[in-house]
Amino acid sequence: MSIIQHLTRVLPKGIVITGNESTRPYECDGLSMYKKKPLAVVLPENIGQVRIALRLCRKLKTPVVTRGAGTGLSGGAQPIDQCVVLGLSKLNRIKSIDADNKLAVVEPGVRNIAISEAVSKYGLYYAPDPSSQIACSIGGNVAENAGGVHCLKYGLTVHNIESIKLLTINGDELLLSRKDDGLGLLALMNGSEGLLGVIIEITVKLKTKPDLARVIMAGFDSVRGCANSVADIIKAGIIPAGLEMMDKIAIEAAEGFAQVGYPLDAEALLLCELDGSKSDVEAEIDATMKILSGASTIKVSNNENERMALWKGRKSAFPAVGRLSPDYYCMDGTIPRRNLADMLEKINDLSNKYKLRVANVFHAGDGNLHPLIMYDANLDGEIQRAEEFGNEILKLSVEMGGSVTGEHGVGIEKLDAMCHQFNLKELEVFHKIKEVFDPDSLLNPGKAVPELHRCAELGAMHVHKGVLPHPELERF
């Protein structure tokens, strides 16, 4: 009996989806450059059905790719050959809210923004806010360790999770809690990309809404001037709630889409949000305005509507760039703040080299960059050029002392780049951890951590930190 026959036999009607057309919506995530149809899609309505599906897949050695809202940008939820996609979108209940202790217990299919909406009446909110927060789900946020425009002050997903429940490939339930996490397993699961278990419940930490939040918008005549201001703000001891940077192409795209008043004559734009008590915000605004005195354009939001409008442009940048090109490839690397200007100049050089336009959007405060490489998949060679362009950006990120990913995960997109960042011994540790949780490698296999022979073939093992090739490479 096949896995499909087993699943349809024991699960209620409508839970298992098969057939080319019915499974087509699940053939990729937000990285639409790559597509593959799954063998079947399972959309469980409760934890018991998730457990049944996992145990059957384990028994029949069928790979499982867990999927949330499908907004990921690294191919982490893309199906592989002969796999079952386990979609958790129907597990979308907010199970409890503890306003006194600032905690909420939610299922993985709950949308990010829905948490803040549900707790707003208590004067609380959930801090991490990816640009896709209106659609992305909290389970996927944990799997990718998502960030957002406010992660500089309030942290990534990992910093805002109190506990999670997950099912192993055997269907066994584990509870990982911050208060008794001596092994660091809770942090390990944040960013594990579905390789170690299936998240079924998350307890998130909530924040009290600040008394006041205001945004300073500053336009600059040069990218370097804007980048230097980022470093100067942090050096002054000011920690903004958000500190975002956009280049000219991104400014023009966002303004054309959102029409919020961005200066179209600026070469770079900085959005700096300050929040807290009224007196603290006013003092920090005065100090920041002095630092930004070299800006060609400057504006401070006067009310909540103006603040939200300024952020609307930034959070619309990705879809806005989609209006400029048939396709775009969204990168995600991280570099030290001091290298922002140098990186932008190098990206511009690469843009000329590959003859592809790029719009740059940065979480400037923590050096997380999102170059959007524009291409046309219908033109011969453009996908390959976009991939090569992106890989060079990731190599530069490592060479500048950064990382190949900040919040989008590795998925299938950055497997080769992982070979550039990590040496053989480090990758072996990743594989051993995977083996402990998933000995048959059925959970999202082939994602996030490259096979050792792949890195050996690329000849990239010696690049990271001057590490020489490992003797065991000779056997590959």
Alpha-carbon gap, residue 140 to 180, rounded angstroms: 24
417, containing H or E segment: helix 415-421
302-309: average pLDDT:
96
Confidence of residue 181 (pLDDT cuts 50, 70, 90): confident
Over residues 225-239, the pLDDT tens digits come to 999 999 999 999 999
Predicted confidence (pLDDT) at residue 268 exceeds the cutoff of 60: yes
Assess whether pLDDT exceeds 70 at residue 460.
no
Q: Tell me the C-alpha distance between 11 and 51, whole Å.
A: 11
> Would you state the pLDDT for residue 308?
95
Average pLDDT, whole number, for the chain? 94
Q: Is the pLDDT at 56 greater than 50, yes or no? A: yes
Taking the CA atoms of 234, 300, 244 and 106 in sequence, report the sign of the dihedral they define.
positive
pLDDT of residue 179: 87
**Residue 475 scores a pLDDT above 60:** no
Amino acid, single-letter form, for residue 105? V
Residue with structure tokens 């999670």?
A: 164
pLDDT in tens, 64-90: 999 999 999 999 999 999 999 999 999
pLDDT band of residue 448 (cuts 50, 70, 90) is: very high
Q: Please report the pLDDT score of residue 459 as a whole number.
A: 67
Q: Which two tokens stand for residue 231?
A: 């470093």
Contact of 470 with 461, CB cutoff 8 Å: yes
Structure tokens at 260: 């919020």
Can you tell me the mean pLDDT for 423-443?
96
% of residues, the chain, pLDDT over 70 = 96
Is this model's pTM higher than 0.85 or not?
yes
- Give me the pLDDT at residue 476, please: 25
DSSP structure string for 174-225: EEEEGGG-TT-HHHHHTT-TTSS-EEEEEEEE-EEPPSEEEEEEEEESSHHH
pLDDT band at 470 (very low <50, low <70, confident <90, very high): very low
Can you tell me the mean pLDDT for 112-122? 98
Task: Please name each of the domains of the chain with its CATH number.
Answer: 3-87 (3.30.43.10), 94-208 (3.30.465.10), 212-318 (3.30.70.2190), 325-399 (3.30.70.2740)
Q: What pLDDT shows up at residue 316?
A: 93
The reported pLDDT for the residue numbered 39 is: 97
